[in-house]
Chain A
Amino acid sequence: MRSSLGGVWVVFRRELTTVGRTPGYAVLAVGLLVVLGGLVAVGGGGATGFVPAVVDLLLPTEVLVPLLAVVLGYRALYADAASGELAVIRTYPVSAVAYVLGVLLARTVALFALVGGPFALVGAYVWLTAAPDTGIFATHAGVDSPVLFVRFVALVVPFGAAYLSLSAAVSTIATSRRSAVALGVLALLAGILGGDLAVLRSLSAGASPSGIAESIAFTPNGAFRGLVFEHVIGVAFAPEGGFVDTGRAVASLVGWCLLGAAAAVAAVAFGSRVDVAVERLRGRLGR
């Protein structure tokens, strides 16, 4: 046990160093900050409080955070495999589980910094600038509160982590850098559009709308959006809720993270054997 934890720690540190030596990631974070800041400044939502700011940020968040996560993840496992470093690492007492966990944890920490930083800055900006137009009348904050923004950011991180984990898993089956990009984009599109399209399709095919709160929770985007409505924006509306099944949505986000990790572990652990099996199959068919 001690050695496997040590393995995770070693891989984690190594991976964190790799991320730290890639300045492109910092540029991405700056880009995210520019988009978020611009939306809050031009959209006007940030001028009055956190809830309108979250409303303005929700849609871009749903697109940009997965994008950033995929960028962080699409070569995470492929790069080592392609360069042969993975084969070298596997000669040390580092299990596939430890290796994948170490990489994913390091990348998640990077995601936390790259996504959380810009959001925190935007939140601070709203906190400093949001104020009523006029002081003639008595004012109050309504339900608006920094707590709601903290909730929002706390939901953004597992949402991004799910995409990171999935894109890392997908990257294990990439055979070239180009295919890694293609697979990453595919995972991105499938995640952002696919799940919601599937729900729409099932509804138009006659599925009962009463099941939406549950079915929407299955996709990362649906789960994230539902949780934001339920626990951030919905607070400003009459306390009814029911935008999403909270338990199911949280389980979904955690589940996608674990699924990605498990798939990656499987691919790292058994990938070479599968390759051998595939080659053998191909050889047989060829003959």
Chain B
Amino acid sequence: MAVFDPDTARSRRVRIAAVGFVALAAVATAGAFAADPSESVPEPVRFDDAVELGLSSETDALMAGDATLPRVQVFYSQLQYVVGYNGVGAFVDSRSDGRTERQFGYPLVAYVETFDHRDPGRTDSGLFSATGAGGWTPVGEARYVVGSDARTPAGEVVVPFRDREAAAAFAADHGGSVVGWEAVRTRSFDVDSAATVRSLAPERWRTATGRLAAAEERADRPVSVVVGEDAPTIDAAVAAAPPNTTVRVPPGTYKENVTVNRSVTIAGAGAGGERGDAGATRVVGNGTGSVITVRAPDVALTGMRIAGTGNETRDPEAARESRDPEGEAWDTNIQLGYGHGDAGIKAVGAPGLVVDDVAIDAGASGLLLREGSHATVRELFVDGTDEWQEGFMGITGMESRVTVTDSRFEGGRDGIYLHRADGSVVRNSTFADNRYGTHLMYTGDALVADNAFRNELFAGVTVMTRPAGNAIVGNDVRGSSAGIQASGTRTYVGHNTLVGNELGFSTSARGSLYEHNVVVDNELGARATTVVPSSRVVANDFVGNDDHAAAGAGALRVWADGDRGNYWEGANVGPHDPGSRAYRPTSPVDAALHREAGAVTVRESPAARLLDRLRGTVPGARSGSIVDPAPATEPYHPDRVDAVTGADAGADGPVRTDWRVASDPDGNATATAEGSA
């Protein structure tokens, strides 16, 4: 500090500078209070750059043709990312339970896509359609047509317009009334949630049971032809058999390729177990193409062992096209390519296929289904190639819904690969040494339940693209690169047991529910991936993982449902009331609590306690971490934790759960809070 002498020029300069500084500070301060930061409204962005929540835009109905969804982009006060909603209803619904506001703050501004001059109308199937690209209008300034005859795959569509005249014109053509934002905002929308999927899972199980029973009945037909007695070959026997009868194939080896063009049952003496004993019926192809090709509905194949498939895994023509840099035709090319390889059993346009007690030594696919070959499969054993690059899928289902139970898939590429096979059910099956165990692409409303996955090279269950409504329940994945990696929306991942994997599960699916999973001894228990959190992760047990959880880029994830959190081994050590301290698996101190006793000493420091208190406020503006504000004091499923860590931990069989009782809305449902996530 200078010594002032009031009479020198230097002192005068200092005085002038001081006065200037004070004036500047005063102006800046006044300005800071006069300016309203919430008034600076950002401009709309390209929708592709927003983080999408809500209904997926990748439903089959929308991807084909002009059908579209009015979209909304929202700038939340605390969240750095722009959030995009498919459908006005999805945005309105997200505001209903207050959870979004707690996480992201309030919407600074929301823009809705408007359809003036875009030829709005409806497709043949009644879906809302439009052409061209629209403008973005603040939600409060737009006019909306409600109750028109156009729909979205999710139900009612609210169609926004910038001008009242355009809205009125649409309403005149398609019915409905023109309302303002207030009326839309207070409307209630029937938006499905992951909790709906959970309640549907037991129903899907029962549906599968029904399909299996019906299949068994369908396959049970009177014997008309016996191979070796009435006809020399299976192929000849099938050609001779009247429809709806059984071709019996006695034990023995049949070297031939069979084509089935009529609805018959081909019944062998048995697959002979996994190794193939003497009493088995063997059908051995010539090493090219598929061994049995089915081109008729309601064919049943039972009790046989199949070998001698070709090793062409896909159509080489289509595979070449798929390298097309345009990338537009990728989906088509996958279908063409993946659907046209060799297989033990290949079904084309053959709905109602029944496969029961069949073993396949597969050089390419075991069972290949294409063009609506909906199949029920029981006790199928596919022994694939040792190196996944050389073989193909145990079951390849292209636009064919499968129902699989009590089957086993070893080696090869993927155990089961489904492409646009909505409503498929895979249950009670075993997968080992595949690339992926079960792999869903563009496949929604499926149930993957009570399966065991062992030593999968990439993952046990994986869902790619962005389908909706899948339930992945009661599976047991061990020794794999990843347990469950499901993307998409409204996915229910519950009651799975994930042990000794590199990664237990990732939360890639949005608006989804991850609960009652037991995650033990993995290198990493769970990884939070989506940038904007929109899912619930609650009532999972994390025990003995090197790290319980990690988070990628994005806003803070709060893994709890109200005051109900997850069980984290180590979260409650230390001198405090159990469950009263928030647990942050991504903090280096909390992450070490279950491994290093010394971590407790750090955690109880005033500095750590102070920081603990601060996390969780303005969550949308914090990044890259996970907090559980209410960690459970006891595991939710101690029986399952014991089963995989206790004395019997070496047992290879899958851990069974009671999820069908717990999730059934009619049964004794557990006290899990409902609501959209």
Q: Do A and B come from one complex?
A: yes
Question: Please, how many angstroms separate the alpha-carbon atoms of A49 and B623 in the complex?
Answer: 10
Whether the Cβ atoms of B621 and A142 lie closer than 8 Å is yes
Whether the Cβ atoms of B37 and A139 lie closer than 8 Å is no
Q: Is A4 an interface residue (CB 8 A)?
A: no
From residue 446 to 467 of chain B, which have CB atoms closer than 8 A to chain A? none
Question: Please, how many angstroms separate the alpha-carbon atoms of A195 and B386 in the complex?
Answer: 75
Whether the Cβ atoms of B80 and A231 lie closer than 8 Å is no
The one of A16, A133, A238 that contacts B554, using a Cβ cutoff of 8 Å? A133
A-B CB proximity, top 3 nearest: A20-B1, A133-B553, A138-B49
Q: Across the interface, which residues of A come within 8 angstroms of B101, CB to CB? A: 238
Q: Across the interface, which residues of B come within 8 angstroms of A55, CB to CB? A: 614, 617-618
Whether the Cβ atoms of B50 and A138 lie closer than 8 Å is yes
Nearest A residue to B82 by beta-carbon distance?
Answer: A138
Question: Please, how many angstroms separate the alpha-carbon atoms of A48 and B615 in the complex?
Answer: 13
From residue 8 to 59 of chain B, which have CB atoms closer than 8 A to chain A? 28-29, 31-33, 35, 37-38, 40, 42, 45-46, 49-51
Q: Is B133 an interface residue (CB 8 A)?
A: no
Offer 12 A-B interface pairs, CB within 8 angstroms, sorted by A.
Answer: A44-B622, A44-B625, A48-B623, A137-B531, A138-B82, A142-B77, A143-B77, A147-B35, A147-B37, A151-B33, A236-B618, A238-B106
Q: Is B78 an interface residue (CB 8 A)?
A: yes
Taking the closest CB of chain A, its distance from the CB of B171, in whole angstroms, is: 33
Q: Across the interface, which residues of B come within 8 angstroms of A196, CB to CB? A: none
From residue 120 to 178 of chain A, which have CB atoms closer than 8 A to chain B? 132-134, 136-145, 147-148, 150-151, 154
From residue 223 to 273 of chain A, which have CB atoms closer than 8 A to chain B? 231, 233, 235-239
Question: Please, how many angstroms separate the alpha-carbon atoms of A145 and B611 in the complex?
Answer: 23
Nearest B residue to A13 by beta-carbon distance?
Answer: B4
Whether the Cβ atoms of A235 and B35 lie closer than 8 Å is no
Given contacts A17-B1, A17-B3, contact A235 B33 (CB under 8 A): no
Q: Across the interface, which residues of A come within 8 angstroms of B76, CB to CB? A: 142
Q: Is B176 an interface residue (CB 8 A)?
A: no
Whether the Cβ atoms of A144 and B4 lie closer than 8 Å is no
Whether the Cβ atoms of A148 and B37 lie closer than 8 Å is yes
Whether the Cβ atoms of A137 and B51 lie closer than 8 Å is yes
Q: Across the interface, which residues of B come within 8 angstroms of A231, CB to CB? A: 33
Q: Across the interface, which residues of A come within 8 angstroms of B37, CB to CB? A: 143-145, 147-148, 235
For chain B, the count of residues having a C-beta within 8 Å of the partner chain is 50
Question: Please, how many angstroms separate the alpha-carbon atoms of A105 and B28 in the complex?
Answer: 21
Given contacts A43-B614, A236-B105, contact A154 B621 (CB under 8 A): no
Nearest B residue to A142 by beta-carbon distance?
Answer: B77
Question: Please, how many angstroms separate the alpha-carbon atoms of A17 and B621 in the complex?
Answer: 44
Given contacts A138-B46, A236-B77, contact A21 B621 (CB under 8 A): no
Q: Is A47 an interface residue (CB 8 A)?
A: yes
Given contacts A137-B531, A238-B106, A239-B106, contact A233 B618 (CB under 8 A): yes
From residue 334 to 356 of chain B, which have CB atoms closer than 8 A to chain A? none
Q: Across the interface, which residues of B come within 8 angstroms of A137, CB to CB? A: 49-51, 81-82, 531
Nearest B residue to A113 by beta-carbon distance?
Answer: B1
Whether the Cβ atoms of A142 and B79 lie closer than 8 Å is yes
Q: Is B183 an interface residue (CB 8 A)?
A: no
Q: Is B2 an interface residue (CB 8 A)?
A: yes
Taking the closest CB of chain A, its distance from the CB of B510, in whole angstroms, is: 13
Taking the closest CB of chain A, its distance from the CB of B601, in whole angstroms, is: 17
Nearest B residue to A53 by beta-carbon distance?
Answer: B621
Whether the Cβ atoms of B553 and A56 lie closer than 8 Å is no
Taking the closest CB of chain B, its distance from the CB of A65, in whole angstroms, is: 16
Question: Please, how many angstroms separate the alpha-carbon atoms of A232 and B347 in the complex?
Answer: 66
Nearest A residue to B45 by beta-carbon distance?
Answer: A138
Given contacts A13-B4, A239-B38, contact A141 B611 (CB under 8 A): no
Q: Is B75 an interface residue (CB 8 A)?
A: yes
Nearest B residue to A148 by beta-carbon distance?
Answer: B37
Q: Is A64 an interface residue (CB 8 A)?
A: no
Whether the Cβ atoms of A48 and B621 lie closer than 8 Å is yes
Taking the closest CB of chain B, its distance from the CB of A189, in whole angstroms, is: 17
Whether the Cβ atoms of A134 and B3 lie closer than 8 Å is no
Q: Across the interface, which residues of B come within 8 angstroms of A213, CB to CB? A: none
Q: Is A42 an interface residue (CB 8 A)?
A: yes
Question: Please, how many angstroms separate the alpha-carbon atoms of A178 and B591 in the complex?
Answer: 47
Question: Please, how many angstroms separate the alpha-carbon atoms of A63 and B643 in the complex?
Answer: 51
Q: Across the interface, which residues of A come within 8 angstroms of B77, CB to CB? A: 142-143, 235-237
Q: Across the interface, which residues of A come within 8 angstroms of B617, CB to CB? A: 52, 55, 233
Nearest A residue to B76 by beta-carbon distance?
Answer: A142
Binding site for A on B (CB under 8 A): 1-4, 6, 28-29, 31-33, 35, 37-38, 40, 42, 45-46, 49-51, 75-82, 101, 105-106, 108, 531, 552-554, 607, 610-611, 613-615, 617-618, 620-625
Question: Please, how many angstroms separate the alpha-carbon atoms of A132 and B613 in the complex?
Answer: 23
Give per-residue flags for A17-47: 1 if the beta carbon is below 8 A from chain B beta carbons, else 0: 1011100000000000000000100111101
Whether the Cβ atoms of A19 and B50 lie closer than 8 Å is no
Q: Across the interface, which residues of A come within 8 angstroms of B75, CB to CB? A: 140, 142
The one of A21, A51, A139, A140 that contacts B1, using a Cβ cutoff of 8 Å? A21
Q: Is A205 an interface residue (CB 8 A)?
A: no
Nearest B residue to A135 by beta-carbon distance?
Answer: B553
Question: Please, how many angstroms separate the alpha-carbon atoms of A20 and B1 in the complex?
Answer: 4
Given contacts A56-B614, A236-B105, contact A142 B29 (CB under 8 A): no
Given contacts A20-B1, A21-B1, contact A132 B80 (CB under 8 A): yes
Question: Please, how many angstroms separate the alpha-carbon atoms of A76 and B35 in the complex?
Answer: 37
The one of A9, A133, A142, A233 that contacts B108, using a Cβ cutoff of 8 Å? A142
Whether the Cβ atoms of B623 and A141 lie closer than 8 Å is no
Question: Please, how many angstroms separate the alpha-carbon atoms of A144 and B40 in the complex?
Answer: 10
Question: Please, how many angstroms separate the alpha-carbon atoms of A232 and B154 in the complex?
Answer: 41
Whether the Cβ atoms of B29 and A19 lie closer than 8 Å is no
Q: Across the interface, which residues of B come within 8 angstroms of A43, CB to CB? A: 611, 614
Whether the Cβ atoms of B49 and A45 lie closer than 8 Å is no
Q: Across the interface, which residues of B come within 8 angstroms of A51, CB to CB? A: 78, 618, 621
Q: Across the interface, which residues of A come within 8 angstroms of B50, CB to CB? A: 137-138
Q: Is A1 an interface residue (CB 8 A)?
A: no
Whether the Cβ atoms of A20 and B80 lie closer than 8 Å is no
Q: Is A59 an interface residue (CB 8 A)?
A: yes
Q: Across the interface, which residues of A come within 8 angstroms of B80, CB to CB? A: 48-49, 132, 139-142
Q: Across the interface, which residues of B come within 8 angstroms of A143, CB to CB? A: 37-38, 77-78, 105, 108
Question: Please, how many angstroms separate the alpha-carbon atoms of A234 and B216 in the complex?
Answer: 65
Question: Please, how many angstroms separate the alpha-carbon atoms of A239 and B76 in the complex?
Answer: 13
Question: Please, how many angstroms separate the alpha-carbon atoms of A144 and B77 in the complex?
Answer: 8
Question: Please, how many angstroms separate the alpha-carbon atoms of A144 and B620 in the complex?
Answer: 12
Q: Across the interface, which residues of A come within 8 angstroms of B106, CB to CB? A: 237-239
Whether the Cβ atoms of B622 and A145 lie closer than 8 Å is no
Q: Across the interface, which residues of B come within 8 angstroms of A133, CB to CB? A: 531, 552-554, 623-624
Q: Across the interface, which residues of A come within 8 angstroms of B1, CB to CB? A: 16-17, 19-21
Of A19, A59, A145, A148, most B-chain CB atoms within 10 Å: A145
Taking the closest CB of chain A, its distance from the CB of B86, in whole angstroms, is: 16
Q: Across the interface, which residues of B come within 8 angstroms of A141, CB to CB? A: 42, 80
Question: Please, how many angstroms separate the alpha-carbon atoms of A19 and B80 in the complex?
Answer: 44
Taking the closest CB of chain A, its distance from the CB of B8, in whole angstroms, is: 13
Q: Across the interface, which residues of A come within 8 angstroms of B45, CB to CB? A: 138
Sample of 16 more A-B contacts, CB < 8 Å, known A51-B78, A140-B80, A237-B77: A17-B3, A48-B621, A49-B621, A55-B614, A56-B611, A59-B610, A60-B610, A134-B553, A134-B554, A137-B49, A137-B51, A139-B81, A142-B105, A231-B33, A237-B105, A238-B101
Q: Across the interface, which residues of A come within 8 angstroms of B82, CB to CB? A: 137-140
From residue 190 to 238 of chain A, which have CB atoms closer than 8 A to chain B? 231, 233, 235-238
Nearest A residue to B44 by beta-carbon distance?
Answer: A138
Whether the Cβ atoms of A132 and B33 lie closer than 8 Å is no
Taking the closest CB of chain B, its distance from the CB of A248, in whole angstroms, is: 17
Whether the Cβ atoms of B4 and A52 lie closer than 8 Å is no
Taking the closest CB of chain B, its distance from the CB of A55, in whole angstroms, is: 5
Q: Across the interface, which residues of A come within 8 angstroms of B622, CB to CB? A: 44-45, 47-48, 52
Q: Across the interface, which residues of B come within 8 angstroms of A147, CB to CB? A: 31-32, 35, 37
Q: Across the interface, which residues of B come within 8 angstroms of A145, CB to CB? A: 35, 37, 40
Question: Please, how many angstroms separate the alpha-carbon atoms of A75 and B655 in the complex?
Answer: 73
Q: Across the interface, which residues of B come within 8 angstroms of A138, CB to CB? A: 45-46, 49-50, 81-82
